[in-house]
Amino acid sequence: MKAFFERLVKDTSPGTSIDGFLNTKQKQILKTHHGKYNMWKYFPPNQQTDVDAWDIGMLFHMTNLCPSNSNTVTIYYHVHDIKHMRDTLCHQSKPLISESEYTCYRQRIQDFINDVLQYLKDQTLQDEIDRDVQHIDLPIEKELIDVYKDMCGYIVQQIQGKKQSYTIGDCKHAYFNNNFVVLR
């Protein structure tokens, strides 16, 4: 999403930096609740904007301010679809979807990725995203599921005021995707 936004600024406002683009849109940005809430990230005092510090909502908001063209109209549809999908999934009462829903969401995400990568024409980014997407289809390790269950139980215990602390002796280490993970 970041690369897409940066390319949109480059294509729709040639020769303009991200900060220059934001400054031209400042009044429009600050008229919105989202813009006011994130004002210090969009317009940090005495320094350049750090787009890497923006969340997906901020990127979505700024992408909407870029004019669309025949090359981006489909991508704009995807961006809105992905935002709606994210909001739907993140605000469910329980984290469970059917396999058919997963397949549908997965295809919509893949379509978005394909169209954005085709627009960006950045082989390095495409290789990186392809590697990440391959991990999505791998089965989840049982240890990772157990960690999730333990963490959920731990958080519930903390909320209920039942303090339980874990010691080094309670933990074991595992190695996943070049990272050490502490497992209970």
The residue among 136, 151, 174 that closes a domain is 136
Torsion over CA of 45, 48, 50 and 54, rounded to 10 degrees? 50
Expressed as residue numbers, the domain containing 88 is 2-136
Same domain, 123 and 149: no
- Check residue 65 and report its DSSP letter: T
Same domain, 40 and 128: yes
pLDDT for 27:
94
Cα distance between residue 81 and residue 105, in whole Å: 10
H or E stretch at 104 = helix 99-120
Query: For every one of its 184 residues, what pLDDT tens digit does the chain have, with 9 covering 90 and above?
Result: 889 889 889 988 889 999 999 999 999 999 999 889 999 999 999 899 999 999 888 888 888 888 777 777 788 888 888 888 888 888 877 777 888 888 898 899 899 889 889 888 899 999 998 888 887 777 666 667 777 777 766 665 555 555 455 444 444 443 344 444 444 4
Contact 64, 34 (CB under 8 A): no
Domain count, the chain: 2
pLDDT for 171:
41
Same domain, 63 and 35: yes
The two tokens of residue 49 are 């904007």
Tell me which residue of 57, 26, 58 sits closest to 41, measured CA to CA: 58
pLDDT for 74:
82
Same domain, 37 and 122: yes
The two tokens of residue 156 are 């519930």
Same domain, 21 and 64: yes
Cα four-point dihedral sign 50, 56, 60, 66: positive
The contacts of residue 50 (CB under 8 Å, 6+ apart) are 41, 44
Same domain, 160 and 96: no
The two tokens of residue 151 are 């963490």
pLDDT for 183:
43
The two tokens of residue 82 are 């992905």
Same domain, 75 and 52: yes
pLDDT for 161:
55
Is beta strand 179-183 parallel, antiparallel or unpaired with respect to 172-176? Answer: antiparallel
Same domain, 17 and 100: yes
Same domain, 13 and 96: yes
Q: Structure pTM?
A: 0.64
